[in-house]
Amino acid sequence: MFILLFRKLFKIIHKKYLERKISIVMMQKSKTKKTKFEVGIIAAGEGSRLKAEGIQTSKPMIPIHGKPLIKWIIDTAINSGADKINCIVNEQLKDLESYLKSYNGSNKINLVVKTTASSFHSLKELSQYIAPPFLIATADSIFREDEFKSFVEYGMNNSDADVIVAATDFIDDEKPLYINLDKKKRVIDFDDSDQNYVFVTGGLYLFKKEIKKEIEEALDENTNRLRNFLRFLIRRKFRFQIFPFSRIIDVDHRSDIIKAEEILKNN
């Protein structure tokens, strides 16, 4: 019994040590010049779980502290140096489409209205309008703006990886994508099940290398999910690296709205 308790305690301490060590190093390295980048936002999901809980508003339009979820993402991206915003929305999300068409911000939004089979197919549509370096974001994630800025600055100026993945050890998703790291903290694979991994992905991916060719090749192999495309890129020898966030909330349920507002309250 003592040995089992010791192993459990060691695992917890090691996990926190690893998270803090990576975060401190990357935060220090990210204090450099900023570089412009493009953004692609995937907002083509139906939000079925929220609708089942009685929320009929399109998920990206759900107010978080009185501001639509998608506007938090757009504003954070622009404040962090994004000079071009592209967004793909489901044809059924008329309220979201109307909002983005009338969006009155410093950056005009290139809007793509198309119902797609998956987030990977949405990425394929967006790839026609973006060029590296670009950030792909899902429209239902909430995170701290200062951590997002450090993520972008580190990825643009200090990382030699092809893809930098936002990661968190705060696991609160129904279907998390776990990250398998080697001893040098490089990503070697993504896993649907927990194998004592420390981090999961957070819905933010900074691409520094062109992927149009790989998208077409993955389609030929019947790739049908964004997470499977990430695995495809690993097999094609793309270099992946993580950047840790304290928490990233995927807004899928009513309870997630409260958690998202807590993060932004302390931003």
pLDDT range class, residue 192, cuts 50, 70, 90: very high
pLDDT value of residue 5: 47
pLDDT value of residue 7: 52
70 in a structural domain? yes
| Model confidence at 267: pLDDT above 80 | no
Give the rounded distance of the alpha carbon of 20 from its chain centre.
20
Which whole-number Å values give the CA distances from 245 to 151, 169, 220, 254, in the listed order? 8, 8, 34, 22
Please give the average per-residue pLDDT across 236-254, as a whole number. 95
Angle formed at CA 214 by CA 213 and CA 216, multiple of 5 degrees: 70
14 in a structural domain? no
pLDDT digits (tens, 9 = 90+) for 99-152: 999 987 767 899 999 999 999 999 999 999 999 999 999 998 999 999 999 999
pLDDT range class, residue 2, cuts 50, 70, 90: very low
pLDDT value of residue 30: 45
Q: Which residues span the domain enclosing 62?
A: 36-265
Non-local (6+) Cβ contacts of 34 within 8 A are 80, 81, 152, 153, 156, 157
DSSP string, 27-89: HHHT-S----EEEEEEE----HHHHHTT--S-GGG-EETTEEHHHHHHHHHHHTTEEEEEEEE
154 in a structural domain? yes
pLDDT digits (tens, 9 = 90+) for 56-101: 788 999 999 999 999 999 999 999 999 999 999 999 999 999 999 9
3 in a structural domain? no
What phi and psi values does residue 197 have, to the nearest 5 degrees?
A: -80, 155
242 in a structural domain? yes
Instruction: Give dist(CA 208, CA 216) in Å, integer.
Output: 18
Residue 175 sits in a domain whose CATH number is 3.90.550.10
Number of domains in the chain: 1
Instruction: Give dist(CA 240, CA 201) in Å, integer.
Output: 12
149 in a structural domain? yes
Name the average pLDDT for the chain: 87
101 in a structural domain? yes
15 in a structural domain? no
Using H for helix, E for strand and C for coil, what is the string for 182-219? CCCCEEEEEECCCCCCCCEEEEEEEECCCCHHHHHHHH
Please give the average per-residue pLDDT across 2-20, as a whole number. 50
